[in-house]
Structure 1
Amino acid sequence: MKPLEQSHVPGLVLSALCVLAVVSPGEVPVPSEVPISEEILEQLRASVARIAVNSTPCSVTCGPGLKLEELCEVTPAGERRNCSLVSSYCLGTFLCGLRHLTVPTGQPLQLPCLAPDAPRPGNHGYSYTWELARGLITTNDLLFEPLRNSSPALSFSPAREAHAGTYRCDVRLRGTSKPIKRVYFGLRVIPGDLVGLSFQQSLTWEQKLEGNLKEGSAGNGSREGRERFWEQEEFSEAVLGIGSGVLGAILLSLLLCCCQRLWRRRGAEK
């Protein structure tokens, strides 16, 4: 170790302190702002920006959709001009929920994950992954197993009881890992002779009457349905029963009137 009087470090420190003491804080040089010419300022004042000033909600509640935007040129003074309406790509929520399906065995079925005409952002495409929770109706993602299918729809020709379960489909933009849509299909496949799935056959006569009356108030398009309804056997029987009751009441009233007249005549003769 060198003696203090032979070391250069104390001298350097002392010199730096002297410089700081001489130069006051107000004299420290500060870089000035870059000057802007009047020509550039005029160009900025004359420039306009084309931005979206209004927009409709997305056309879907989940997954990819479209929205209508109003684009206008906006001047620095806030003036709008040359406005136009354009359709633009938008995304709803990620999760589309669980859809319940019940079909009889032997019936063809298709589970669409995304419509073929779904909007796309630019030239990007979509990729699809399917998973299955066999024999269960659930949304617990831990119970699903991958399927070797990358198509936008699953087809069953025909559906069998072994196909029952919950199918999950994830939609992604190609080259990305984050799903933009997830939908579950809860599929029940029952024997064809177990139960009739015709909704109209399960309705009572009163429910059919109410439904046809509602259809009748919808417009001219339901005229054929009303004509078929008037031709139904149940309606004919109801009209016949009402008519018979009214006719019987009239005959009974006439019979009572005749009896009263006879009693009055006999009373007058006595």
Structure 2
Amino acid sequence: MARSALWLVLLFCTLLHSPSWCSTLTKAELEELENINTWVIKRSFPCSATCGLGLRSQELCPIMGTGNLSKTSCKLRTIRCLDTWQCGLKTQTATTGQRLVLDCLEEVMEAMGRFAFVVSWRFARGVITSDDSLFTRYEALSLDKVVLDPLREEDSGTYRCDVLDTDKRRVKRMFKGVKVLSPNELSLDFTKGLIHWEGPVSVFSNITTTRHMYPSSTARNMALISMSISAVMSAVIFLFLWGLYRKRTAQLSQDNI
């Protein structure tokens, strides 16, 4: 600890370039600093998880008392990292009868040891939400996973998992919305449907046709209506022409008189 404190003071003096601060170190302390060997972080890689606990790799290199950095003796170490414990809401759709597994720890935290965490589940039935007031406690047999086998329509809703570490600190919260559909109501096979509609078969291939498109009674009624309309139109035209003829004849008779 004493050596670390001396290094911090020396670094502070170097950054500020303040002789008054540096002059507070005695000659014995300066001689001790020259004999101290320590490690510094040369490179630090991003966290392996965007939310929840993850792993981060760091490259450590030794630094001698002379201030020279030894690159040949560098080594890598892996440490835990946590950018944010809130993972937001993810949704997925499945059909009844399937086997659905909701994993809370996932690969990164599984690698750290599944028994190093305490996982609790809550469930909001029938809605996709992140409102905490709508959730009730849900007992998961596998603790870190919820296994729905077979999947039922009443399993639709939002599942929330909270992860605590051994110090009872929250390290992850994730919402998983599940939509369960009946295969008899909707087919999710988009590729099969696309092949059906874009194939050479007519879109009306399921319609069974006979020689007569309409029933005989419908065809007879349509024929009678057409004939009636034609007869009425013919009668109207005949009467109109007959009236013109009578009027023309009467006019010629008056002219002759």
Q: Normalising TM by the smaller chain, what interval?
A: 0.5 to 0.7
Q: After the TM superposition, list the runs of 4 or more consecutive aligned residues in structure 1 that deviate by more than 6 angstroms.
A: none
Match of 2:146 in 1: 154
Q: Report Cα offsets for 1:115-134 as digits up to 9, x if no partner.
A: 2552439x980110100111
Residues 121-178 of structure 1, C-alpha deviations (whole Å, 9 max, x = no match): 9x980110100111110011111111123611100110101111100001110241x3
2:69 to 77, 80, 93: 80
Give 1:65 shift: 1.4
TM-score by length of 2: 0.60
Matching of residues 163-174 of structure 1 within 5 Å: 163-174=155-166
The CA deviation at 1:112 is 0.6
Task: Select the residue among 51, 57, 64 that pairs with 1:62.
Answer: 51
User: Per-residue CA shift, 1:17-38, capped at 9, x if unaligned?
Assistant: xxxxxxxxxxxxxxxxx99674
- From the superposition, tell whether residues 63 and 77 of structure 1 become closer, same or farther in structure 2 (CA, over 3 Å): same
Secondary structure of the equivalent of 1:183? strand
Given the two structures, how large is their TM-score scaled by the length of structure 1?
A: 0.57
1:202/1:66 CA distance change after superposition, 3 Å: farther
The equivalent position to 1:51 in structure 2, one of 36, 40, 59, is 40
1:20-35 correspondence runs (5 A): none
Q: Residue 202 and residue 49 in structure 1: after superposition, are their counterparts in 2 closer, same or farther (change >3 A)?
A: farther
Task: Identify unmatched segments of 5+ residues in structure 1.
Answer: 1-33, 209-232, 235-270
Q: Does 1:191 align with 2:182?
A: yes
Q: Which moved more, 1:71-80 or 1:156-165?
A: 71-80
Unaligned runs of 5+ in 2: 1-23, 201-257
C-alpha RMSD of matched pairs (Å): 3.0
Counterpart of 2:74 in 1: which secondary structure?
A: strand
SS of the equivalent of 1:97 reads: strand
Identity of aligned residues (%): 34
Contact kept in structure 1, 2:55 and 2:108, CA below 8 Å = no
3-state SS of paired residue (1:180): strand
Shift of residue 54 of structure 1?
1.2
The Cα shift of 1:180 comes to 0.9
Counterpart for residue 120 of structure 1:
112
Q: Residues 42, 137 of structure 1: CA spacing in aligned structure 2 closer, same or farther, 3 A cutoff?
A: same
Decide which of 133, 137, 140 is 1:142's aligned counterpart: 133
- Are the aligned partners of 1:124 and 1:174 in contact in 2 as well (CA < 8 Å)? no
Match in the other structure for 1:105: 96
Distance 1:174 1:66 in 2: 17
CA distance in 2, matches of 1:186, 1:163: 10
Deviation, structure 1 residue 190? 1.2
**Distance in 1, Cα, partners of 2:48 & 2:171:** 15
Query: Residues 86-97 of structure 1: matches in 2 within 5 Å?
Result: 86-97=77-88
Distance 1:57 1:117, change over 3 A: closer
Q: Is contact 1:89–1:120 with CA below 8 Å preserved after alignment?
A: no
Q: Deviations over 1:223-252 (max 9, x none)?
A: xxxxxxxxxx86xxxxxxxxxxxxxxxxxx
The equivalent residue for 1:249 is: none
Pair 89,35 (structure 1): closer, same or farther in 2 beyond 3 Å: closer
How many residue pairs get aligned? The number is: 174
User: Is the contact between residue 53 and residue 85 of structure 2 (CA under 8 Å) also seen in structure 1?
Assistant: no
